[in-house]
Chain A
Amino acid sequence: MDKTQFLEELKRRLSGLPQSDLDERLLFYSEMIDDRVEDGLTEEEAVAGIASVDEIVEQVMAETPLSRLVKERIQQRRGLKAWEFLLLVLGSPVWLPLLIAAFAVCLSLYIVLWAVLISLWAVDLSLAVSAVGGLFVAVFDLIRGNPAGGAFMLGTALVCAGLAILLFFGCLELSRGLLRLTKKMLLGVKTTFIGRENTER
């Protein structure tokens, strides 16, 4: 890949960035390549020495706040024609509720996931409490001279304790998974803004 190809590719992939940001970045990489060439490398070697376009896009994505990308995208779209604007307004009774509904459904699905997790944690907690409580009752029964009842309560308490421990690790793993999912979704939202050009082709 030579310098022009590299810069073109970078420009295409980062087209979701504000124009001034993009120009500045492109100038920066252009200067870097020129300086490497001046240092005795060929243009291809110079480009290869710089991180791949994918790596750069990934880093830019992680660094640029979502609000900035959204703002840029809205600004780019400002050039609406009069009839498009009219359609948008006239159609708003249809698309606005649909949009809100879609958003609400997504949000509620997400909340449900957390609700399930929270209830699992609650079950785990109650198992742990039952285990401790059962142990006390078992000791109490033994003191009161009821060995059969005591043994039964001891067994129950142990089963509860075992289940609580198993469930604890399960819940922990699920919580981590859900956090990872959240992170991925946020990154996915960002990608739709930055990688816009890329997906259109």
Chain B
Amino acid sequence: MDIQLKRGLLDVCVLAAIKDEDSYGYKIIKDMKPYLELSESTLYTILKRLESAEMLTVRTAEHDGRLRKYYHITKRGLNRLEEFRDDWKEIMAIYRFITKEDNLNG
């Protein structure tokens, strides 16, 4: 897939993974696995990016005698997800336009 397109999608995917309840790194990767493979270092970069864009907040909590970071979606993050839904409608329209051209040629 096109790198720019994938990058934008990954951000939204991570937001979606923490939308309903706070989640932690490993769980995010596991939840996304059926849909797309995400490496730890990529996830780290995305989380940092979303944090500095104030789309999520981080809190550290104790779990089983060690510390774990939990990620919580903010209002801005929820807005981003909402935006994505609107964007997607446009993308689908473009998709139909592209495949229509294909059908005409083929």
Contacts and interface: CB of A to CB of B under 8 A. Distances in A.
A31 B67 contact: yes
A22 interface: no
B4 interface: no
Contacts of A60: 41
A27 B69 CA distance: 9
Contact of A31 (B25, B39, B41, B45): B25
Nearest to A55: B41
Interface residues of A, number: 18
A51 interface: yes
B24 A31 contact: yes
B26 A56 contact: no
Contacts of A200: none
Contacts of B39: 51, 55
B25 A32 contact: yes
B68 interface: yes
B66 A25 contact: no
Interface stretch (A35-43, A84-92, A111-119): A35-43
B41 A35 contact: no
Contacts, number: 39
Dominant SS at the A interface? helix
Nearest to B48: A24
A168 interface: no
B44 to A, nearest CB: 5
A28 B40 contact: yes
Contacts of B66: 31, 34
A28 B44 contact: yes
A59 interface: yes
Given A25-B44, A31-B66, 14 more contacts: A27-B67, A28-B25, A28-B44, A31-B25, A32-B25, A32-B26, A35-B25, A35-B68, A38-B64, A50-B40, A51-B39, A55-B41, A56-B41, A59-B45
Interface of B: 24-27, 39-42, 44-45, 64, 66-69
16 contacts: A25-B44, A27-B67, A27-B69, A28-B44, A31-B25, A31-B26, A31-B67, A32-B25, A35-B26, A35-B27, A35-B68, A50-B40, A51-B39, A55-B41, A56-B41, A63-B45
